[in-house]
Amino acid sequence: MDTPSIPPPPVRLRDLAIGERPQERLERHGPAALSEIELLALLLRKGTRTHDVLAIAQRMLADAGSLDGLLRWTEADLRRIPGVGRVKAAQLVTVLEIARRVRNGASSAEPVFRDGAQVFAHFEMLARGLSVEKFWVLCLNRKNRLVRLHEATSGTASSSLVHPREVFREAIRLGASAVICVHNHPSGDPAPSSADIQVTRQLREASRAVDIDLLDHVVVGQKSTDPTGRGYYSFRDAGLL
C-alpha cells in the first residue's frame, strides 16, 4: 500500500533571497512571471507575527482549489484562514468582487441576444460564482444589441425579489426598445419556481404598459445539475412569453 505523500512545508518570505521575493520579481519581470501564490501574497501585502504571507496565500489557494474558486469566497470564508483578519478580508473581498465584475463585464463590441442559448452563454460563468440570486435586465436596442446590463436586485440565498419598476426604470431611461430578464438559481437547477412564473406574468403585463418588449426571461443554472442538460430555462422557448 502506497504511503500518502506529505506536501512540502510552505516557503516563507524570510527564507527567500531579497531578489526572489514577489515584490522584487514583480518589478523585474512583471506580473505574468509570478505564480498564483505570489500574486495572492502581493494582495495580502504582509503576514502576521505567526503566519507568513506566503503560507497564508498557499493556504487560501489550497482551500479554494483555484483562483476561480477563490472568486466564490465571501468575507467570512476569507476570515477562516489563519492570519487573515477583518481589515485584510474586507480588502480582499473587494478585489475579488472587482475581478469578478471585470471577468463578466460586457465587451466593447456589445453582443446581440436573440435566444436563451446566447443569454446562457453570456451569464454561465457569472452565475456559477454566485451563492445568492441576482436579477439582471438586458436593455436592448431595436436590433437586439445590448445597450446596458443592469443589475436590478440582489437577493438572499433562497430568493430574489423584483418589482416591474426595478426592471423597466433603467430601460425607460435609456430608451431601450426591448429587455431580456435574467436571474440565476444558486442550486444549479434552472427549473422555474411558482414565484418565477408569477414574476414573469407581472413583467409581461408591465412591458405592454410601457411599450417595451419583454423578449424573454431566462433562468440560469448549471448544465451538470439541469435534468435537461441545457443549464438554463427560457420562458419564451417554453411558450410562456
pLDDT at 1: 44
Q: Do the Cβ atoms of 45 and 25 come closer than 8 Å?
A: no
First to last CA, the chain: 61
Is 14 a residue whose pLDDT tops 80?
no
Q: Residue 54 belongs to what H/E stretch?
A: helix 53-64
Flag whether 1 is in a domain: no
Residues 71, 169, single domain; the answer is no
Is 88 a residue whose pLDDT tops 50?
yes
Q: Do the Cβ atoms of 43 and 94 come closer than 8 Å?
A: no
Rounded mean pLDDT, 23-46? 81
pLDDT at 4: 47
Rounded mean pLDDT, 93-114? 74
Going through 4-108 in order, the beta strands assigned E by DSSP cover none
In this prediction the pTM is 0.57
Residues 139, 217, single domain; the answer is yes
Is 17 a residue whose pLDDT tops 80?
no
Domain of 42 in residue numbering reads as 13-103
d(CA 10, CA 57): 10
Cell of 159: 430568493
pLDDT bin (cut points 50, 70, 90) of residue 233 is: very high
Q: What is the CATH number of the domain that holds 126?
A: 3.40.140.10
- Among 46, 81, 103, where does a domain finish? 103
d(CA 43, CA 50): 18
pLDDT bin (cut points 50, 70, 90) of residue 106 is: very low
Residues 119, 22, single domain; the answer is no
